[in-house]
Chain A
């Protein structure tokens, strides 16, 4: 018997708020060079949403984020964005996977964050007073105000994530795209990052993040998009999306879904995986309230 603490009812905002569309992908097939990674994807993200993308490695999670950022090759379909009035393009704040960052680069926290404002800083190589004030404010807001002159490698995992979150936020983005922001960090840091993202979302920032972490991250998000083998398998609130059938189509493996109140917990069929009996005729365990 797995005991799950019931979470407070109604803690998640609705998965599809009434905001106007910010990004619309229509029948999009996209990838790199001559290889499509995502096929025939229809997806709409509205202003004010906080959505997560889940799926196994190589399924196309990062490609979905990069397609929205216009950094992939489009084979078919369209990507439509809705910038602010008077602006030609959507303002994006992109936070890459920590593994993709060159931590040995001779860059201080302040220099790294100001890169997110390269356009607004004008022609000068150096920041103006207004830029320095904005930098100080954003670093202070994220709790790393004392680290502006520290080299990016000489930071803890949480501080590194906050630095690149600050770079994304200093450009006042319409949309924050985060590629696995909780990967490789400890539990406390993960809590801090998710708490911070929740605050930003409540303050009006639209967020789309990919994650591997179904239980500690994905189940707490208002909206989940499941991507499996380059296709969008499901899209909706976690309680609707996280079913054994959807998980099997997304991950290609049997999983148990345990529920209690609002709490959801996904468990791998480890016994079957260990004994090699995973493909038995046994019906997958249905979505079942546990403990109650």
Chain B
């Protein structure tokens, strides 16, 4: 029994566990909008783009959080503007802008020759190196996201469902999109230290898609995705201590396992008529990771 409580003796572990839980809730909830807007790729792209921003802020000597936030919001706004051009399209806009931003970061690193441990953490995550300051940033972003979602619940839902028609009903679509871009960029930045650029996309996509398999109601999907994300963060970090595997990878693998269970359940239920699982299975088509 003593072995099972052993990790809680270490403050850095408890901090990491709290951080992973909060980031799980944050990514699960924000990821619902990402998945339903068919932007699964944006989490992946944005995380890499912000890595470029992190390098630029390091080279320019400004705070990582300030530099990366400005960079992230700028990138999302640029993606939105490029995606509105019919000749380009959303997926291509994400591909071009985020990889160029990432390449800029790599170019600066090779020019300055300082690939420090911090950048390693930004790419792969270093949950047990979370400081009290990082925890405060994660808590702050979660509070911001909760406030925005609460205050603009209907507007966010309407623009996610059908932004064209939302405009005809008087929803200020460009403002809502800009607000969502800010929340998404802040979410990715806050999650960078915990999960790393390479695993953020999974945390944004897997819990919402798992929740979608289990319900047809937006409200329930939102709640389930946040709970699944938070629970997998909590349990994943705890388990990683004992199996001696990277915490971020354990969290994502746990989310993947939950997705497989939900998929198996949905497939089984789809064989029973009138359960609606067949429709839900069809609905998540295409919402997988790139």
Q: Give the B-binding residues of A (Cβ under 8 A).
A: 33, 66, 69-71, 89, 92, 94, 96, 100-102, 104-108, 111-112, 114-116, 118-119, 121, 123, 125, 151, 153-154, 171, 177
- Is there contact, CB below 8 Å, between B168 and A66? yes
Supplied contacts A107-B217, A125-B150, A177-B168, 10 more A-B pairs, CB within 8 Å: A92-B169, A96-B162, A104-B283, A106-B216, A108-B216, A114-B154, A118-B155, A119-B169, A151-B279, A153-B279
Whether B111 sits at the interface, judged by CB under 8 Å, is: no
Distance of A66 Cα from B85 Cα, bound (Å): 19
Whether B221 sits at the interface, judged by CB under 8 Å, is: yes
Q: List 11 A-B contacts (CB under 8 A).
A: A100-B162, A105-B36, A105-B218, A106-B215, A111-B157, A119-B169, A121-B154, A151-B279, A153-B283, A171-B169, A177-B168
- Is there contact, CB below 8 Å, between B150 and A92? no
Contact of B169 among A100, A115, A153 (CB under 8 A): A115
Complex contacts, B1 vs chain A, CB 8 Å: none
Whether B161 sits at the interface, judged by CB under 8 Å, is: yes
Distance of A121 Cα from B144 Cα, bound (Å): 22
Distance of A151 Cα from B158 Cα, bound (Å): 16
Given contacts A92-B169, A151-B276, A153-B283, are A107 and B86 in contact (CB under 8 A)?
A: no
- Is there contact, CB below 8 Å, between A33 and B86? yes
* A105 nearest in chain B by CB position: B161
Distance of A111 Cα from B217 Cα, bound (Å): 8
Complex contacts, B155 vs chain A, CB 8 Å: 118
Complex contacts, B86 vs chain A, CB 8 Å: 33
Given contacts A71-B168, A96-B164, A151-B216, are A104 and B279 in contact (CB under 8 A)?
A: yes
Write the nearest CB–CB distance from B62 to chain A, whole angstroms: 36
- Is there contact, CB below 8 Å, between A96 and B169? no
Distance of A102 Cα from B162 Cα, bound (Å): 8
Write the nearest CB–CB distance from A227 to chain B, whole angstroms: 19
Whether B170 sits at the interface, judged by CB under 8 Å, is: yes
Contact of A118 among B85, B162, B171, B218 (CB under 8 A): B171
Mark out the residues of chain B between 50 and 105 whose CB falls within 8 Å of any chain A CB in the assembled complex. Answer: 85-86
Write the nearest CB–CB distance from A156 to chain B, whole angstroms: 14
Contact of A71 among B150, B167, B218, B282 (CB under 8 A): B167
Write the nearest CB–CB distance from B111 to chain A, whole angstroms: 39
Distance of A114 Cα from B217 Cα, bound (Å): 14
Whether B219 sits at the interface, judged by CB under 8 Å, is: yes
- Is there contact, CB below 8 Å, between A89 and B170? yes
Complex contacts, B36 vs chain A, CB 8 Å: 105-106
- Is there contact, CB below 8 Å, between A108 and B217? yes
Whether B243 sits at the interface, judged by CB under 8 Å, is: no
Whether B4 sits at the interface, judged by CB under 8 Å, is: no
Contact of B217 among A70, A106, A121 (CB under 8 A): A106
Distance of A106 Cα from B162 Cα, bound (Å): 13
Write the nearest CB–CB distance from B273 to chain A, whole angstroms: 12
Q: Please provide the 9 A-B residue pairs with the shortest distance between their CB atoms, ordered closest to farther.
A: A125-B153, A104-B283, A151-B216, A118-B154, A69-B168, A94-B168, A106-B221, A106-B218, A115-B158
- Is there contact, CB below 8 Å, between A96 and B282? no
Complex contacts, A94 vs chain B, CB 8 Å: 165, 168-169
